[in-house]
């Protein structure tokens, strides 16, 4: 299928897939049995994501993604694949969660390949967070029209954390999980964010912090990034994250709808539409907890998206799949530019 045909087919299937999953949900909830590696995680819900998977030469298959722990949903995925025919790309995603770090300090960070320490001047890829959050990644520096300030771009769940946060709250580098605290590690304050709320469908998990100092190093790791593009699928991409450092991957799906992401207490499980999927092309994972907020860019240094979630299983090498907000949608939501 070409791009437009694949998009039309996906849109025709989305409501059908949701209806099938909704009907299966009560059966899933009643299912018994002992826990296993295939059991759903806390707060997870049955879901089926549909998008477009690149086939090369501008052709696409329908991407069908189902999570661990729901045999009924797996059966629905296979049923849809049979209905669509050979033009499908069916994958098990594992449990998809927002990728900030886990417990508050003390935590072990010695195994992190990225930057967990204090870094001045600030640069992309370093640990950063709201003073009451654990740690995520500073993805990029952005600006606003007629505003001389420099802003740090990352995720809502990194720079905001929960609905009690307010504009003006302190942001620290490194994040608290990496030993950062106020006032000694203050680098700025929360300036704006795209709200997230339970029971809603979102397109971005994004926020910005107004930095106290405009002296930053925007050149790491591939030079200053000022251009954006829409992901078409199949691109070779990279990112620099707090936990896994610089890693390479490939865009395996675009325009994914109904991607369900676990945020834990407070926000619970949220649905996202129009997302990008990336798998690692190296021996290790493309992302892990703490890499949230990383900028995902093409091999030519053009920005494609903002990393916000992932799983620890799935993908070509079995190390997980990563989910990314389209960068233009992020920038528009926050009224900023690279």
Give the span between the Cα atoms of 188 and 172, in whole angstroms: 7
Q: For each of the chain's 338 residues, which pLDDT tens digit applies?
A: 999 999 999 999 998 888 888 887 655 444 443 333 344 444 456 789 999 999 988 899 999 999 878 888 889 999 899 988 889 999 999 889 998 766 543 333 445 678 999 999 999 999 999 999 999 999 999 999 999 999 999 999 999 999 999 999 999 999 999 999 999 999 999 999 999 999 899 999 999 999 999 999 999 999 999 999 999 999 999 999 999 999 999 999 999 999 999 999 889 999 999 999 999 999 999 999 999 999 999 999 999 999 999 998 899 999 999 999 999 999 999 999 99
CA gap 76, 88 in Å, rounded = 13
Contact call for residues 225 and 153 (beta carbons, < 8 A): no
The whole-number pLDDT of residue 112 equals: 67
> Are 138 and 126 a contacting pair, CB within 8 Å?
yes
Torsional class of 243: left (φ above 0), alpha (ψ -120 to 50), beta (otherwise): alpha
- Distance CA(198)–CA(162), nearest Å, equals 11
At residue 220's C-alpha, the angle toward residues 216 and 222, to 5°, is 140
CA 160 to the chain's CA centroid: 15
The Cα 74–Cα 21 span in angstroms is 10
Q: In terms of Cα–Cα distance, which of 21, 19, 15, 13 is closest to 72? A: 21
Q: SS3 of 139, please?
A: coil
What domains does the chain contain, in order, with CATH numbers? 1-92 (no CATH), 96-338 (2.40.10.10)
Contact between 169 and 130 (Cβ < 8 Å): yes
Q: How far apart are CA 295 and CA 288, in angstroms?
A: 14
Task: Report the pLDDT value the prediction gives residue 20, as an integer from 0 to 100.
Answer: 86
Close Cβ partners of 299 (under 8 Å, ≥ 6 residues apart): 235, 236, 237, 238
Cα–Cα dist 65/17, whole Å: 11
């Amino acid at each position: 299928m070409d791009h437009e045909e694949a998009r039309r087919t996906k849109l025709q299937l989305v409501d059908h897939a949701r209806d099938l999953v909704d009907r299966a949900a009560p059966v899933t909830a009643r299912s018994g049995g002992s826990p296993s590696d295939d059991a759903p995680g806390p707060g997870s819900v049955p879901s089926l994501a549909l998008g477009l998977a690149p086939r090369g030469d501008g052709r696409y298959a329908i991407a069908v993604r189902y999570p661990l722990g729901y045999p009924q949903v797996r059966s629905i995925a296979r049923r849809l694949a049979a209905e669509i025919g050979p033009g499908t790309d069916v994958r098990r995603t594992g449990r998809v969660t927002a990728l900030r770090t886990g417990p508050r300090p003390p935590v072990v960070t010695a195994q992190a390949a990225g930057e967990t320490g204090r870094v001045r001047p600030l640069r992309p890829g370093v640990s950063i967070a709201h003073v009451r959050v654990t740690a995520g990644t500073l993805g990029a520096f952005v600006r606003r029209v007629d505003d001389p300030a420099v802003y740090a771009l990352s995720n809502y769940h990194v720079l905001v954390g929960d609905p009690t946060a307010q504009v003006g709250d302190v942001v620290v580098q490194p994040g608290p999980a990496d030993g950062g605290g106020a006032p000694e590690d203050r680098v700025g304050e929360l300036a704006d964010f795209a709200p997230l709320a339970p029971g809603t469908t979102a397109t971005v998990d994004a926020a910005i912090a107004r930095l106290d100092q405009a002296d930053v190093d925007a050149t790491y790791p591939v030079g200053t990034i000022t251009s954006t593009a829409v992901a078409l699928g199949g691109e070779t991409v990279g990112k620099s994250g707090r936990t896994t450092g610089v890693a390479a991957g490939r865009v395996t799906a675009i325009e994914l709808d109904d991607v369900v992401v676990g945020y834990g207490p407070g926000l619970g499980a949220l649905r996202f539409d129009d997302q990008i999927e990336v798998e690692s092309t190296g021996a290790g994972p493309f992302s892990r907890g703490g890499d949230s907020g990383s900028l995902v860019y093409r091999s030519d240094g053009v920005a494609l998206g903002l990393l916000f979630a992932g799983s620890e299983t799935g993908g070509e090498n079995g190390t997980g799949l990563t989910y990314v907000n389209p960068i233009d949608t992020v920038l528009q939501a926050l009224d900023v530019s690279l």
